[in-house]
């Protein structure tokens, strides 16, 4: 992400970033959705789309 937060260069970075989504500042759902969208995009770029949690929608929201 811009500013160097959540650097995702490989699958290990992706796993760490997925676990860190709950610590996003500001602690709003909008901010978390933005980070989830970024992580989904990075996962596709590194061929790790299968590592994205099933509870995440493509738009970054959480599935019910």
pLDDT in tens, 7-53: 899 999 999 999 999 999 999 999 999 999 999 999 999 999 999 99
pLDDT at res. 9: 93
Average pLDDT, the chain: 91
**Contact status, residue 61 vs residue 33, Cβ threshold 8 Å:** yes
pLDDT at res. 42: 95
Collect contacts of 21-26 with beta carbons under 8 A, ≥24 apart.
Answer: none
| pTM for the predicted model, two decimal places | 0.90
**Contact status, residue 2 vs residue 24, Cβ threshold 8 Å:** no
**Contact status, residue 54 vs residue 36, Cβ threshold 8 Å:** no
SS3 62: strand
Whole-angstrom distance between the N-terminal and C-terminal Cα of the chain? 26
């Amino acid at each position: 992400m811009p500013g160097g937060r959540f650097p995702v260069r490989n699958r290990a970075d992706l796993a760490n970033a997925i676990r860190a989504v709950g610590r996003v500042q500001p602690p709003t759902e909008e901010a978390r959705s933005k980070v989830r969208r970024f992580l989904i995009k990075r996962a596709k770029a590194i061929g790790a789309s299968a590592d994205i949690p099933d509870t995440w929608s493509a738009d970054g929201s959480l599935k019910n």
